[in-house]
Amino acid sequence: MVMRKLQLELPLNQTQKVRFKRAMERLQFLSSTTNNSVIVADSIHEDAFLLKGHGTSEVDGELMATVCGVVTHVDKLVYIRTLRARYKPEVKDIVVGRVIEVSKSCWRLELNSTKDGILKLSSMDNDVQRRKTYVDELNMRNIIVEDDVVCAEVGCIHRDGGLELRATSYKYGKLEKGQHLMVDPYLVKRSNIHFHYIESLGIDLIIGRNGFIWVGEHVQAQDHMILDDEMIKHTSLETRQSILRIGNAIRVLSNLGFTMTLEVIMETFNLSNAENIDVYDMLGSEFHVLVAENELERRIRRA
């Protein structure tokens, strides 16, 4: 599927086709020996006492996959997490969302899920953005408005699927002076760290569990005076170039279906610099092939 997509959108010459096919075939072979991905009718070798969940069916005493995806365990439940599905939230997930509505005492955020997220004023628990009075409700649009990008944590999931978000520390809240990107949620794995400060570039990278990613100029949010000063400063050309380059690295990785981690993103960023690839040329055919070949070498090194 990746190969057809690239051929449709990017004109690969014959040499690039051969290189890309070779790299992807070897990557698929490595993946088949190191992960638990399945396609329809694949056997799932699990203990008999496990509970059978979504995407599984027992046929003649054998557990089979009924959808394509990744075998996933939650306690004693085994199910198939389908690829390219919409985001399925879990409590404490770090998410990035875009505001689609400002209403009384809350903001509604689009999260790439079947349900929008609700961020209440009462859930903004830091001195800079917390607003609890009636006057503050009237002034909500002075804080966050439609199309603003916000980082938050999933605080509660209701029985009807409704999501309540919370922003309980200075690392959450409105995001500015950067770029908002979207990838398939299955490309973002659960991690202990979703906030990354790339100190050498002065860049903040937030990889949301919902597939929304933020790349922006680093803000010292812990210090209110620094925050105020940062808001009036212009972003340097060098920083803007770094934001664009990281953003295009993420786009290429997404096109290729590679998992989003800081390591992979920065390797792709550094590869573009090492090969003297212009920011805009990163979206071309040759760089896609180079990234596929580089990812193969990276996985071989780690094997």
Domain spans of the chain, in order of start: 37-83, 84-175, 177-221+235-302
Q: Which of 251, 230, 90 is nearest to 174 (CA)?
A: 230
202 burial (CB, 10 Å; 0-12 / 13-18 / 19+) is middle
Global model pTM greater than 0.75: yes
Q: Give the CATH class of 37-83.
A: mainly beta
**Residues 13 and 6: beta-carbon distance below 8 Å:** no
Among 24-33, 61-70, 92-101, 223-232, the least confident range: 223-232
The pLDDT of residue 220 is 75
37-83 with 84-175: one CATH topology? Answer: yes
Find the mean pLDDT for residues 278-295: 95
The pLDDT of residue 3 is 45
Over 70: is that where the pLDDT of 84 sits?
A: no
Find the mean pLDDT for residues 204-208: 98
Over 90: is that where the pLDDT of 9 sits?
A: no
Quote the CA–CA distance of 4 and 7 in Å, as a whole number: 5
- In which region does residue 99 sit, left (phi positive, over 0), alpha (psi from -120 to 50) or beta (all else)? beta
Find the mean pLDDT for residues 128-157: 80
The pLDDT of residue 8 is 45
The pLDDT of residue 14 is 94
Confidence band for 290, pLDDT divided at 50, 70 and 90:
very high
∠ Cα 216 205 96 (to 5°): 90
Classify domain 84-175 by CATH architecture.
Answer: Beta Barrel (2.40)
Do the bridges between strand 77-82 and strand 51-52 make them parallel or antiparallel, or are there none, so unpaired?
parallel
Highest mean pLDDT among 103-107, 133-137, 238-242: 238-242
Decide which of 59 and 208 is more confident: 208
